Amino acid sequence: MSAREPANQPALRVGIIGCGAIAGNHVLAYRAQPQVEVVACLDADAERAEAFAAEHGIGTATTDLENFFAHDVDVVSVCTPHPTHEQLVLAAAAHGVHVLCEKPLAVDVPSAERMVAACREAGVRLGAVFQRRWWPAAQRIREALDDGTLGTPILGRVEVLLHRDTAYYTATPWRGTWATDGGGVLMTQAIHYLDLLQWYLGDVDLVMAAADTYRHGEHIEVEDTLVATLRFTNGAMGQLVASTALTPGLGLRVAVTGSTGATVGLLEYPEGTEAVNDVWAVPGAAALAPPVALLPDADLPSINAALAPFHTLQIAEFVTAVREGREPGVTGEDALRSLRTLAAVYAAVRSGRPERPDATGPDAIEHEGPGTGGAPR
Ligand SMILES: NC(=O)c1ccc[n+]([C@@H]2O[C@H](COP(=O)([O-])OP(=O)(O)OC[C@H]3O[C@@H](n4cnc5c(N)ncnc54)[C@H](O)[C@@H]3O)[C@@H](O)[C@H]2O)c1
């Protein structure tokens, strides 16, 4: 036990499952917490597990789940490709271990429902990583709703305008197919902002959507561009525009307008860096719109590194929730809610008709293309 650990509180023992690009953010985040030890890591690829353990000074590297759980872990982070999340979260629940799962929670709604149910029945906490909720700017939007500045929300807007090169899809074998990635820009990138939008505006009642693959069609079967119109149960409307086909990328924005007429929004630019409130158009308050110079597109390691402080904030909150025996700030149910909306969006792309999240049924995300509608290539 280190000097900063009070003798009356045992250290929390953490394991990392999946030793790829994002797992390092988790290790850094846990290490920043008092009384937390990262004791084991697991990867399907033995060399990756061993290299990761060596890089981060983790005592046990394994490919075997039973061996992994035999190291008395209290908490695991699941950092593997999306379709593998369910099996690993269910294993954690079966071993009575709290689990923080990377986004998206799963690639279909029934899978996410099983994960939520298994953790609830096992009495373990299930958290989902949506670290952008910890941007100070994202929290100021939430506060503007809570303190009445915005009144009742009436309009939400999301833009996810990103650059991805061909190597992004070809260098990582699981990206870009319906079976292994579960979707395209909506499933992998825009889901962060769908989570924010639902944090602000609540449940979605109706969606209309279109999607296509304009830029990366030679390499992927999922969409690289998607537009969705959302109607919320509280009567608000929303629009989500998302693409990885831009060069250069133009960043990520979310803005909420309320019944007072005020608008509060944020800009994340370059991708991954701390968002700022770029719109604060509140009667009586200054409008803030810092000019932004166009920058070169960041590579994936730089984006992941920029996200690290916010993984640390979310993981600090998750660790506290586990210690206090309460639900974490972003629960499995929260992640299930945005996944239900996402499923309805893909259903609307396929059907060409409006769809309702609650009516899309258990097979809402079919692992097939959304239909291209003859758009230009
Ligand atoms: N929150 C964020 O901002 C953020 C950023 C990047 C990635 N992610 C998410 O994190 C997850 C991982 O992404 P990544 O970019 O680190 O992927 P990656 O491909 O770099 O790493 C995944 C690792 O998991 C291992 N793996 C695959 N299947 C496994 C299994 N069944 N059991 C154990 N190990 C297995 C692979 O060998 C690989 O080392 C994805 O769900 C992704 O969406 C989230």
Residue range 250-279: mean pLDDT, rounded: 92
pLDDT at 377: 25
Question: How far does the centroid of ligand 1 lie from the alpha carbon of residue 235, in Å?
Answer: 37
Question: How far does the centroid of ligand 1 lie from the alpha carbon of residue 115, in Å?
Answer: 18
pLDDT averaged over every residue in the chain = 91
Residue range 258-263: mean pLDDT, rounded: 94
Q: Which residue has the higher pLDDT, 360 or 272?
A: 272
- b/e 350-376 (16+ beta carbons within 10 angstroms → b): beeeebebeebeeebbebebbeeeeee
Confidence of residue 291 (pLDDT cuts 50, 70, 90): low
Residue range 126-135: mean pLDDT, rounded: 97
Token pair 């800009």 is at which residue? 267
Query: Which residues are CB-contacts of 71 (< 8 A; sequence separation ≥ 6)?
Result: 13, 15, 39, 40, 60
Ligand 1 pocket (Cβ < 6 Å) reads 17-23, 42-45, 48, 79-82, 84, 102-103, 129, 131, 172, 188, 304, 307
Residue 253 scores a pLDDT above 80: yes
**Ligand 1 atom with minimal separation from the 311 CA:** 1
| Nearest alpha-carbon partner for 299 in 263, 271, 276 | 271
Confidence of residue 109 (pLDDT cuts 50, 70, 90): very high
Give the sheet arrangement for strand 36-42, strand by strand: 60-62, 36-42, 12-17, 75-78, 98-101, 126-128
Compute the distance between CA of residue 309 and CA of residue 314 in angstroms, rounded to an integer.
9
Element (H, E) at 351: helix 332-351
CATH code reported for the domain at 12-131+308-333: 3.40.50.720
CATH number for 133-299+336-359: choose from 1.10.730.10, 3.20.20.70, 3.30.360.10, 2.130.10.10. 3.30.360.10
- Out of 102, 170, 304, mutate this one to test ligand 1's pocket (max ligand atoms within 8 Å of CB): namely 102
Q: Whose CA is nearest to atom 14 of ligand 1?
A: 21
**Ligand 1 atom with minimal separation from the 130 CA:** 1
Q: Whose CA is nearest to atom 30 of ligand 1?
A: 44
Question: How far does the centroid of ligand 1 lie from the alpha carbon of residue 101, in Å?
Answer: 10
pLDDT at 297: 87
| Nearest alpha-carbon partner for 64 in 34, 42, 79 | 42
pLDDT at 216: 92
End-to-end CA distance of the chain: 59
Residue range 277-303: mean pLDDT, rounded: 80
Confidence of residue 360 (pLDDT cuts 50, 70, 90): very low
Residue range 203-208: mean pLDDT, rounded: 97
Question: How far does the centroid of ligand 1 lie from the alpha carbon of residue 22, in Å?
Answer: 7
The C-alpha angle 247, 228, 335, rounded to 5 degrees, equals: 95
- Out of 17, 22, 194, mutate this one to test ligand 1's pocket (max ligand atoms within 8 Å of CB): namely 22
Cβ distance 263 to 243 under 8 Å?
Answer: no
pLDDT at 61: 98
| Nearest alpha-carbon partner for 253 in 99, 86, 141, 100 | 141
DSSP three-state, residue 206: strand
Compute the distance between CA of residue 43 and CA of residue 62 in angstroms, rounded to an integer.
7
Residue range 91-111: mean pLDDT, rounded: 97
In the chain, domain spans: 12-131+308-333, 133-299+336-359
φ, ψ of residue 304 to 5 degrees: the values are -60, -40
